Chains A and B, each alone.
Chain A
Amino acid sequence: MKVKSENTFQASMQLLRTTLEITIGLLVLGVVFCVVANVFGRFVLNYSFVWAEEISRIMFIWVVLLGAGLASLNNEHVSVTYFKNLVSSPIRKAFGIISVGVIYTVCLCILVGFMQIVSGYVSVTPLLQIPKTLLYSAMPMMAVLTLIANSIALFKLLERSPT
């Protein structure tokens, strides 16, 4: 039973990663298309596609924050492991738990901060009048992905023997 639920969990995580990867790949292609379209418009058609710059910036923000969420799931964020590796296993475990606790706090604050923003007046982008909620929503998405990754990290930390 335990093995089956573990397999289902692994499969769900793999599905999440693959979905994120495909979305990120498509968004990067979108950014490339918009910037290239703008260069083409300016130099070949002598016409600037005003929409392209704004759309590319929005897609870039989503690339960054979905990419960061995926990096959380894959444990790929920049960190200094030199000092952590110098200390004994129980201290390393304590460091891990503190780190997880801090990241939980950061992610929850991001979710609260987002709720505070959307509960008030949200401005729009200057050209296409797109509500900035679309930009800001990338942040809680990253926070939720990081919360999932953090919970897995905490589970592994508590499961592992300190010796």
Chain B
Amino acid sequence: MILWSILIGLFAAIVIGMPISFGLAAISLFIFYYADYSLTPIVSEAINGLDSFPLLAIPLFILVGEVMSEGGIAKRLVRLASAMVGFVSGGLGQIAVLTSMFFGGISGSAVADASAVGSMMIDPMKRHHYPAPLATAIIVAASVVGIIIPPSIPMILYGVVTNTSISQLFLAGIVPGIIITLALAGTTFLQSKKIGKAQPFDILELAKALRGAILALLLPVIIVGGILSGVFTPTESAAFALVYALVVSMFVYRSLSAKRFFHLCIATGKLTGVVMLLLAFANVLAWLLTANMIPQELVETLTALSDNKFVILGILTLFLLVVGFFMDLTPAMVILAPLMTPVVVNLGIDPVYFGVLMSFVLGIGLITPPVGTVLYVGCGVGKVGMEELVNSLLPFYLTLLGLLALFLVFPGLVLWYR
């Protein structure tokens, strides 16, 4: 009954267009009423879900991304990417893909990636005879890298709700992130090779661009290196990265004022509120699910279908792809990760591997219609219609699905560090 209440309730919330977070709370309240619970867990369990130190990494990483974007970092990363790959045919497209990877190493968010890189790259691409839908499609597809390359906000959420090591999730994301970047660069090359080069190769320009961007490039190294070496926890590394980003933006690049920084703090707080309210109410639901042994029931139901872990993993992946069509990444992650992870762990599948896979599949959902946050951002930034953008995205969807199959067949690509 509980599982059906959740499915029907979520479906109803999606159809009538009510905020998903309040939909989750309403489903919990319905179950409370049905099972004769008191109303206290709607407050206490929601607060318990938020009372976690690792979660503090999320606003801090959001703020690091905001500070670096505002502080002129994105401009410098574009210049470096131009010097590195601008001489390749369809060079501007390659620059956009590479910049997305660099930027993903700072922001940890596909939406931030698409809006920051898109607002800088789409107009120059249009001027270089890229059709607007193709230019936007490249930016939108490349933004998926932002949540696989560490740091990654979805991976932090997964780590918190499933009690999995965030450091290991970040480590596991490095190789798949690089593979996705290369594959998208390949697809971009095939789609835009006739458009021509952005600029000739110039070693002096490369050296200058590298010098200009070196302080920015050190940031992902600090974040990832600090976590992987065990010196920092993810939250501490986010704090350190923020101090570094502030020093660079305020005193070296001199492009961020204290007043502007305060405005960025406000923007971060608002965004954190939207994302984390989902987590708070999903935690109430997760508490209900655990109290009623629903994950165990789900394990039994799925293992009754098949005891082959690849079949189950395939079913779950397919389910997540379908969910991605209709639901944003954050609610899908916080609702489904606590339900699915016990199933895969029971089958002997590594939770770190599943976390990266889940982030990737739901990341694809961000760029697929009818509900895709990054798709909407792309339409806005690129000033293109949804239909033409989706048409231009088709080769990129194929590439991403091919990569998904690759990661399913070769889990070692994700668990490369073991």
Q: Which residues of A contact B (CB under 8 A)?
A: 21-22, 24-25, 27-29, 31-32, 35-36, 38-39, 42-43, 53, 56-57, 60-61, 63-71, 74, 76-85, 95-96, 98-99, 102-103, 105-106, 109-110, 112-114, 116-117, 132, 135-136, 138-140, 142, 146
A78 touches B59 (CB 8 A): no
B22 touches A64 (CB 8 A): no
Minimum Cβ distance to chain B for residue A63 (Å): 5
Judged by DSSP, the binding face of A is helix
Minimum Cβ distance to chain B for residue A130 (Å): 12
B315 contacts the other chain (Cβ, under 8 Å)?
no
Q: Which residues of A contact B21 (CB under 8 A)?
A: 68, 77-78
- Extra contacts, 15 of them, besides A80-B14, A83-B14, A110-B43 (Cβ < 8 A), are A32-B242, A35-B56, A35-B60, A35-B236, A36-B240, A57-B52, A60-B50, A60-B56, A63-B269, A63-B273, A67-B272, A78-B19, A98-B16, A109-B29, A113-B38
User: B373 — nearest CB in chain A belongs to which residue?
Assistant: A78
A-B contact pairs, 22 of them (CB 8 A): A25-B265, A25-B266, A27-B269, A28-B272, A35-B239, A39-B232, A39-B240, A56-B56, A57-B51, A60-B55, A61-B51, A64-B277, A71-B277, A76-B274, A78-B20, A83-B14, A102-B23, A110-B43, A132-B47, A139-B47, A142-B277, A146-B22
Q: Which of B263-317 contact A (CB under 8 A)?
A: 263, 265-266, 268-274, 276-278, 280
A106 touches B25 (CB 8 A): yes
Minimum Cβ distance to chain B for residue A92 (Å): 8
Q: Which 9 A-B pairs have the closest CB atoms?
A: A67-B273, A84-B17, A77-B19, A24-B269, A113-B39, A99-B18, A68-B277, A68-B273, A95-B16
B50 touches A64 (CB 8 A): yes
A43→B274 CA distance, assembly (Å): 33
A112 touches B270 (CB 8 A): no
Q: Which residues of B contact A136 (CB under 8 A)?
A: 43-44, 47
B26 contacts the other chain (Cβ, under 8 Å)?
yes
- Residues 43-64 of chain B, each 1 if its beta carbon lies under 8 Å from chain A, else 0: 1101100111101100110010
A114→B38 CA distance, assembly (Å): 11
A79 touches B42 (CB 8 A): no
Q: Which residues of B contact A106 (CB under 8 A)?
A: 22, 25-26, 29, 42
